[in-house]
Amino acid sequence: MKKLTIRNKLLVGFLLIATAVVVSNLITITTSQRILTHYESSRLTLHTKSEPLLELQNKLLRAAMPVNDFLINNLESENRNFRQFEFLIEKDFAAMSKNAVDPSVARLVAEARTKWRAAKRRADRLLTTGASLENNGYDEMKLFDEEIFASATILQTAHARTGVVMASGLERVRKQRRQAYVVAEVFFIVLILVAMATSIWLARSIIRPIEIFRTESRRLGHGHLDQRISLHTNDEFELLANDFNWMAERLQQSREDLHELSVRDEMTNLYNHRELLRLLSREIQYARRTHEPLSLMMIDIDCLKQINDVRGHLAGDETLRAVADVIEGEMREVDWAARYGGDEFCVILPGTDLSGAAATAKRIKDSVAGDQIISENRHLGLGVSIGCAEHHHHCGNETDVIHAADQALYVAKRSGKNRVSSATVPPNIAAASKQRLSTGEPRSGKS
């Protein structure tokens, strides 16, 4: 579809108004000419509409004569005469039905035609059975004459009604002369309405898109980057809306990219410490509402400091990335993994109790132990210690769950490293944390 530009819309509006003026003048002129000639055409129509009714009435009355003569003389020629009248009468009735001047006249013609056809059927029986006046023919002939006369009488009424209708038509001609001035005024009003409608259309097609752009741009400025403009005006505004939507999509994608960078750890591409706390808080709230289990694993890389000291920090970075890859490989889609800090990782396990978390931790430990990192053509053996803690919906928040997992990790480290230890969040977790701080006991047994 060809685009309707704003300039073209203004041109169309001007053409609509100009067309309304021209049409109004043409209709006024043609109406005046029709009024001058309508009177003579009405008189002519009165003659052409009423005369055929009288002729048809005469044919009906004449059609009764061959039937009567046939009953008296029983001559086949009378049968043929009736058939000729029958053909002419049917033809005239068909013409009268189409050219009636008024619905009431059409109904009268139809009624007369019904009476005629009833008489014709009776005549058919008389002409085909060879009835005579002595053999019940007189009664049938009497009924036939009555039906013919009834049809002719109805046509007489139709003729009178036609005269009344045509007389009223002549009266309407005189009224139309007075109505000509009214027509001119009406079309002048129509012209004003067309101009108003055109102005409203132009205003809606130009001002409304501007208001939409103003509103949506303000919403976009307030941070609603998912806002889009839907315009199907097929003009420059639609093109501008497409550009606006493209810009909003780019801004939204940029914000999503920035958000992803802000919640990801640059080294391992896992979630960072801040996002871990947010995700854990959300999962705890969900677990409380649904009374489903929730577990947390805290994973510590054994002897990462020695790897950094002996083989360099590049080897240490490779170790962090390798362990992160192993953790992601053992996770479900519903689990969340994050780098807690330094050489520690955390994994949130929604819908998982302590035994399930311990089983997952064992798989991670075994996978890490079986994964060998090659750095500077040397194989680096790895091991991790993992602490597992289960949260119960009636106690503890995200900090408490982390403390419980940290305590379990401490036990695993003290037990010889490369171990898995489990714990639950005790009701007195806060008191236990304070006690550890007061005794100066380290948070975990990392080396």
Do 83 and 194 share a domain, yes or no?
yes
Query: Is residue 85 pLDDT above 70, yes or no?
Result: yes
246 within a domain of the structure (yes/no) = no
- What total of structural domains would you count in the chain? 2
pLDDT band, residue 434 (cuts 50/70/90) = very low
Q: How high is the mean pLDDT of the chain?
A: 77
**CA dist., res. 63 & res. 131, Å (int):** 18
Q: Does 15 share its domain with 144?
A: yes
Range of the domain at 54: 6-198
Residue 337 has pLDDT above 90, yes or no: yes
Question: Region 429-437: what's the mean pLDDT?
Answer: 44
Domain closes at, from 198, 226, 252? 198
- The answer on 282 and 178 residing in a single domain is no
Residues 44-66, mean pLDDT to the nearest whole number: 74
Q: Which is more confidently placed, 443 or 384?
A: 384
Q: What is the pTM of this model?
A: 0.47
Distance CA 354, CA 401 (A): 12
Looking at the domain assignment, is residue 264 inside a domain? Answer: no
**Is residue 340 in some structural domain?**
yes
My answer on whether 308 and 191 are in the same domain is no
Q: Domain check: are 275 and 178 in the same one?
A: no
Residues 190 and 306 placed together within one structural domain of the fold: no
The residue among 198, 229, 250 that closes a domain is 198
Q: Identify whether residues 48 and 151 lie together within a single domain.
A: yes
CATH number for the domain that contains residue 288: 3.30.70.270
Residue 259 lies in a domain: no
Task: Label residue 159 by pLDDT band (50, 70, 90).
Answer: confident
Question: Are both 188 and 328 inside the same structural domain?
Answer: no
Task: Return the higher-pLDDT residue of 347 and 146.
Answer: 347
Q: Give the pLDDT score at 38.
A: 58
Q: Which two tokens stand for residue 191?
A: 């012209």
20-32 per-position pLDDT tens digit:
667 766 766 666 6
**Same-domain pairing of 144 and 31:** yes
| Residue 244 belongs to some domain of the structure | no
Residues 148 and 274 in one domain: no
Confidence category of residue 445, pLDDT binned at 50, 70, 90 = very low
- Report how far residue 72's alpha carbon sits from residue 370's, in angstroms, rounded to the nearest whole number: 130
Q: Is the pLDDT of residue 447 over 80?
A: no
The pLDDT score that the predictor gives to residue 441 is 42
H or E segment and range at residue 349: strand 344-350
Within 13 A of 318's CA, how many CA atoms are on the CB side?
18
Q: pLDDT-based confidence at 257, cuts 50/70/90?
A: low
Last residue in a domain, options 147, 165, 198? 198
Instruction: Answer yes or no: do 38 and 187 share one domain.
Output: yes
Flag whether 326 is in a domain.
yes
pLDDT of residue 443 exceeding 70: no
Domain contains 105? yes
Judged against a pLDDT cut of 90, whether residue 157 lies above it is answered with: no
- Grade residue 438 by pLDDT with cuts at 50, 70 and 90: very low
Q: Could you count the other beta carbons within 10 Å of the beta carbon of residue 445?
A: 16
Q: Is residue 226 part of a domain?
A: no
Q: Which single residue is written with the structure tokens 């489990």?
A: 422
Rounded distance between C-alpha atoms, residue 159 and residue 153, angstroms: 10
